[in-house]
Amino acid sequence: ARRRRMRTTEETLSLFEDAWKKSCQELEIEDLSTETEELRITDQKLKSLSFVQFAFPQLRSLILSFNRFSDASQFFIIPTLTDLDLSHNRLKSLPEESTVLCKDLESLF
């Protein structure tokens, strides 16, 4: 049996970045960088948005209305967020720890 080589942190992050870029291309999102502070992806039928907290360390405003998110916990681990719009999704509740993890959150829809 052949042993699989473990990926380095750099290789793993590169894979995340490649996956994120592919997702952005599919959603026709352009001009994004690690300096991006506002991300607006509406009416795209998204159910999850992985790696957003890693791809955009400066992200302050995240608008994801009119999608299909049923779990909001993935967004409350982004410590820089001040505005989060998850309106018109399939959310039934918000995680209990949401106000603890996003201390700077000013508006939530």
CA-nearest of 26, 84, 75, 35 to 56 is 35
Burial of 45 (0-12, 13-18, 19+ CB in 10 A): exposed
**Residues 14-31, mean pLDDT to the nearest whole number:** 61
pLDDT value for 19: 64
pLDDT value for 30: 57
- Asked whether the predicted pLDDT for residue 27 surpasses 60, the reply is no
pTM for the full predicted model: 0.67
The pLDDT tens digits for 33-75 are: 677 888 888 888 888 876 666 677 888 998 889 999 888 877 7
Who wins on pLDDT, 83 or 34? 83
pLDDT value for 104: 81
